[in-house]
Structure 1
Amino acid sequence: MSREEPDPEFEDLIHHIQQSRGVDFRGYKRTSLRRRILLRMQEVGAESFAAYQAFLEVHPQEFVELLNTVLINVTSFFRDAEAWEILRDEVVPHILARCEPDEPIRVWSVGCASGEEPYSMAILFAEALGLNEFCRRVKIYATDLDDHALAIARHASYGEREVEGVPPALLAKYFENTNGSYVVLRELRKSVIFGRHNVVFDAPISRIDLLSCRNLLIYLETDTQNVVLPRLHYALQDDGYLFLGKAETQLARSKLFRPLNSRHRIFSKVPQEWRRSAGGSLLASADPRDAGPAQQLKMLESIIDNVPTAHLVVDLAGTLIFANMTARRMLEVGEADIGRPFQDLPISYRPSELRSRIDLVRAELKPVHLESQEFLRPSATPMRLAIDIVPLIERNGDIYATLLTFIDNTRIDQLQRELEATQESLETTIEELQSANEELETTNEELQSTNEELETTNEELQSTNEELETMNEELRSTAEEMEASNEELRQQSEDATRYRTHSESILRSINTGIVVLDTDLTVRSWNRWSENTWGMRADEVIGQPFLSLEIGLPVHLLENGLQDVILRGDTESERVLSGVDRRGRSVTCRIRLSPLLYQSHAVHGVVLIAEDITEQVEREEYTRQLGRLVGQSLNEVYFLEPTSLRFLLVNKGAEKKLGYSLAQLRQFALTDFMPDVPASAVQNLVATIVQGDKAEVVFETRIKSASGASYPAEICMQYFGKESPPVVLALLHDTTERQLLDS
């Protein structure tokens, strides 16, 4: 029964996985492999193998999920406990017994997944040897294709569920409980070496005492199993042990291993002898006497199937009688094509016409070599093949078949083309470099000329630099002088600011109106007294024509005086104006107009000083009125000099009573008219008011007039020391009538 034709898209996907991740699934059972890949395709929604390949190219993280699905990492500590007990009780003691005390012990766990199995091996040997001796002698190699699983294994941290198979005593002894996770002891971890390895294609690890390959062979094709088992056999010591899974029965009839415990799939290695067949091939058998022609043919086919080159054999009748595994995969030749006429197969004319060349080889009995033949495959990338057609000749010299060997030189051809392209590019580059070199020589000459010019320029620049340094020193000196000037100006500015502030403060504090006008009679300054008196703020009047201000004062009457001051410059004028202040009170102001002069003595405006003399005018008027009344009074009123009591001023009544004029009276003292009173007594009384002991003195005496007659009088004296000059006021009242009434 012929095998199912391969699906080109599926095979391309397998090839892509191998190229991208180095995982070769060619030896896996196609049915199982296809089923697991389809599971991932359903998960991501890919409808075909080509679509899934495109998805992998765009989403490389999908490789992790794919490998986790295909490489089923089902494992646990001490899985199948009875089998591990046999290892502990029979296999491990035997290994320790036949090894020398210092001889290393090597263990290999193939398909170790997340590490439970190799760590179980480590615990077995640590229990048998003791931890220190185990660390010194035992090396455990643990390999797998799944990088993610290997990362977990190296971390050696497992959950409570994952360590259920570990006996409690061993769990406490060889694990550390950290944050709810169980971590394998560091000493055990150091003895377990994890690595990525493909047991189908990679070279096996050698000199192994115990090899565990559990539940891996069941996923491989029979042909691939036939490749793997000899590799496992080769890896073991002559008395080494192989530990398989319960479902693996491939060694039931194998001559490479003998069962130690068939139920639990524990085998020991059967040493093999290697010999050469009549054709020169190496054949292995458990007993050299058992190696017959059939066995030799089987071994020969196995070897040819596993070489990396494709081989076809065509007999003299033109029938394809052999195609190795590489040829079936590379040239798309199926098992159904074996026995068919070679000329009916596409490979007979693609990539090159081979039928005529086979005839030529048969006729001339000479090999033919075809180089770099392009092989176009409908479902895969094109290839470049080197083809050798060789006659197969019997010992008697007769040809009995033709061997066609196909070598994939795609990469070599690609490298050759790249090399040729690179060589052409280099030649072009060399020509460009030569041209560039000539240009550089020309440029070099120009640069030399330019260099000479630059040297000349440099000398000029040095001279200029010296001049600039001299100028810089001068500028530095000037800068220092300017800094000093700036400091002086700053000081002057501060002084001016202080002076201005001081002046403004004085102007605000003076209880007199001060208004500064320019030559156009525009207000330039307006102090606080002016604001308070006329009810207009400075910001309202500054900049306004003075004569147009309505401030309750008839300022238009000052126009002529202002013009005179501006025109003459050295004159001052004064006027008294009456007006109304902001409260509606009548005021009388004395206005003084002075020129505003600067150092040049040029007139820059007018300073108007307004003084409120309302009370002064009222007092003067009152004084005049009082003087008139006192002067016309019939009572005698004397103003005396405080020390001598000489007459300074008298009213009309005094002149009439005394019989002297004012001019005459100024020659006398008051005491001259009081013959009955000593002058010193009167002066003593006056002294009391002058010194402030009394406010006034009142006494009675007789006054003698110019006619010689005398009359009684009462005199009241007061001292006014604040007057200029100080005076004593004496009010004299004639008491003649009062005395008559009293009598």
Structure 2
Amino acid sequence: MALSDKPTEVASEPLAPYFPIVGIGASAGGLAAFEAFFAGIPVAEPGMAFVLVQHLAPDHESILAELVRRYTHMQVFEVVDGMTVRPNCTYIIPPNRDMEVVGGVLYLEVPAEARGHRLPVDTFFRSLAHDQRERAIGIILSGTGSDGTLGVRAIKGEGGMVMAQTSDTTEYDGMPRNAMATGLVDYELPPSEMAPQLLAYVARLFGEGPRPQATGPARPEPGLNEVLSALRARTGHDFSQYKPNTVRRRIERRMAVHSIDSLTDYVGFLRPTRDEVDSLFHDLMIGVTQFFRDPESFQALEDLVLPKIFESKPPGGVIRVWSAGCSTGEEAYSLAILLTERMERLKHNYTLQLFATDIDNESIASARAGLFPDSIAADLSPERLARFFVAETAGGVVTYRIQKSIRDVVIFSEQSIIKDPPFSRLDLIVCRNVLIYMGAELQRKLLPLFHYALNPGGFLFLGTSETVGEYGALFGVLDRKSKLFERRNTPTPLLIDRYRVPKVEVTSGRPLPLGAVAPRAHNFRELTERAILQELGVAAALVDAEGNLLYLHGRTGLYLELPAGETSDQNILKMAREGLHRELTTSLHKAVASNETIHCPRLRVKTNGDYTAVSLTVRPVPAPNASLFLVLLEVLPPPLEGSTLEAHQTDPRSDEEVVDARLEALRQEVRAGQEYIQTTKEELESSNEELRSAVEEMQSVNEELQSANEELETSREEMQSVNEELATVNAELQSKVTDLSRASDDMNNLLAGTGVGTIFVDLRSRISRFTPAAAELVNLIPTDVGRPVGHVVSNLDGYDRLVEDVQGVLDTLVPFEREVKTKLGAWFMLRIRPYRTLNNVIEGAVISFIDIGTRKFAQLELNRARTLAETLSSTVPQPLLLLDKAQRIVLANEAFLTVFHLSKQETEGVPIAQLGGGQWDRPELHTLLETILPQHTTIDGYEMPFRGHEGAPSALRLNGRRVLGADGEDEWVLLVMEDLRSGRIER
């Protein structure tokens, strides 16, 4: 059953009974933590329900329920779909299932994600927060990864409580450490100390049952205004107009955390404790947020709103969006992703301005960082996760950082929508799950504010439980279910002048260049050398073999258009001015090839719109492990006019020859230039070809690496999941091994302690095990294990059918029993029974030798005593009886049987009161007989009427004594009687 198919709640409060539900999440190492936690719960009825969610191997039958039952008096169930949660019970998730709670009922689902991507703790914690709100309690125990982190935020967002196991008590601290990194954990405790704190918290917060909802106007509560004043003084934010029930619940939760019973006491604790003020503020500010929360609503936004916004803008236009109450940024980044995807589909560029604000500066700082736990994979499609996020691993923990292109779209700032001016000219305002915490007065202020801030035809996106209420004249309904509204073109009833101009802190979003350094102070030597060099009028540049600039000196701007000073990633060949580039390139290549100084005496370099005569020298510079060259540029003085005229007059060549020489020089210069161009062109083509080939190879390698990286990431996640599951299975198996070892020890001690000789044989009558007592009856040594039992010599006298009797039991499955005697005269009871496993499979037989020597001797002695007693009693002429403690006849002599005409069968074991047709059933006689044994009394001459066999009346006189047995423990009553009619008296 999908979550959308489950019953949803219409009422503001969950339908479940009023008791807390504690969700406990764990992974590897969680078994020991479970044991310590439940062992610490001292009562069978703690007044809450516990739901255990552990990473379990999907193909392994879990024994977690069986193990937990040992440490708790509560009922423990493995969950079945549709099971109702009840207090004082523990519920355990089955393998290969996700679980959610809706209306106090647990629903199971087959996991949609692949193994390694499942987040069962987050899934259950989120549903628990939504269903139980402030009655939701989350506990994170040992485990790897970050499962449970988003669930912790959801529980805190609904006013619940969170505990986490301390890192020093965990086998794996990934899950507790990530939960604690959110700053939302109320208690960090070892598992053994969690239960008392949990019971105290629940007793304080829920001990009185549900409170009735207030129906009239709120009454001022003593101490509440002081709490709000302390918050306002510390944070600058006023919560007096928030919904009082919400504020009160969060305050009561903080009181329960600190075991404070009264609001007055909490005020006294709050005022001097700045950290507690901050904690209360953050409790009030915690919002439930996630990427694309309520996917159907975001889909409606994408389908109904974004097309209209982009249609109203020309290509290159500005789209302005405000995310008010953005919390840690998930909602704002979701909007940025939708806008980016829409813009790419349209294939036009737009300027996106997305303002994201919140009054919690810690949330804003977290949003700016753009770093999220790997559990966000549950909220994002694999395509969006791969495209808009970068996976980072530190200390074995995987996190996702938002892509820079998306991060640059969003502008985060701390702002109060209540007291600070709004943004303006907006196309879309997103304010989800903020108004529900505010009172009606605040809502009446904010909705006109949003109307003012929106452009005509702008849109408002609210939470699923929010509406525009009485301001339907300002906003038309676009999609009622998704809470999308469109601004109506009506006047805004708002006075903007009531807002003060806020202080705006402008910070640069760009970090300093990695190599940037502060200006360096020079010493006097450097200043002197620089001054001398500048007087020489030489511009110089230190370059490597590729022409990369390492240092510049002098007025290099005349030739290179580059200011003096240190630089990096600049090439002198690219910076050379017209007239210098060709000769500088050629000279540097020659100097590199020959490692000699190359000099060009006169070049015409274009500087400041004119040409300047310059000499160029490229000189190798000796340097360890480097090829460095010094490029020297010196301005040449112009030739004097007089000298030029004189040279012309003294030149014997004709003007025609001078012109020809000049033309030839120009032709050579052109040829050299053409050669240079051709060489440069060939080098460029070769470089381009190499570069193209390298780019293609790099693209191929990059695709292969990306594919391999995705495969490795999938394998890593699957291996991590398998390792967690194996750790859980191993813990369960280790517990089973411990139980089996203990059971084996108990059985060995039991067999040794009873002294019963026992031999275990298999289906082929081979010895598999025996006790020390058996070795005294059958000559056994440890090496006899595995031998047929018939090969072993026994010490039994007259019994040699052991093998046949064992086989008979194996064939018929009927137990065998007989008495046997050893050669030394000791008696034993031999018993042979089938060996049955727990699955009722016969795997052999059990041969037992039970010592019956004492019983045998006692039986012989008893027989002798009985024979003697019967012989003595038969020689006595008077009737006598021997009675036991229950007044049953043990022995009647021949005289008694003759006088009363009875047989032994009619007397032995029969109560005396039943003899003679009830004539012996006399209360007085019964009382006398009853006191003889306990009080050691006697009966002397007790007379009683009696009617003989023929009906003649008569009378008896009775005498009774206590008689002890040979062992001094058994005792009887000896009753002797005389017939008064005959006058015979027994003395």
Structure with the bigger percentage of helix? 1
Structure with greater contact order relative to length (CA < 8 Å, sep ≥ 6): 2
Which structure has the greater CA radius of gyration?
Answer: 1
Name the TM-score class by shorter chain. 0.3 to 0.5
TM-score, normalised via structure 1 length? 0.36
